[in-house]
Amino acid sequence: MEISQNAYVIFCGFLVWLIIAPRFSTERYSDWFLAYMAALLLSLIASAEIMMVKPVAFFFTVGGVFAFCYVLARSMVMVRLRK
């Protein structure tokens, strides 16, 4: 069960969780982000429980964790130029 064998599943998980992620420009972004974070946490806990039976679900959620880190970094780093 190597990561290189499941790299495609991790990449697919990254893309799916990135599409699900809330957009910063929407109203109630904080509520949507909290729901996104809770869904990812529950998914990670649930997939860790069944990792020995079905490791694909765990690696899919690992891609979601990478997407979460990307969304978090994207929302934290904002460069604004004003005249």
Taking 70 as the pLDDT cut, the residues of the chain under it are 1, 78-79
The full set of domain ranges for the chain reads 7-76
Q: Give the model's pLDDT for residue 15.
A: 92
Residue burial 19-35, b: 16+ Cβ < 10 Å; e: rest: eebbeeeeeeeeebbee
Full-model pTM: 0.77
Eight-class DSSP state of 21: S
Look at residue 1 in the predicted model and tell me its pLDDT: 57
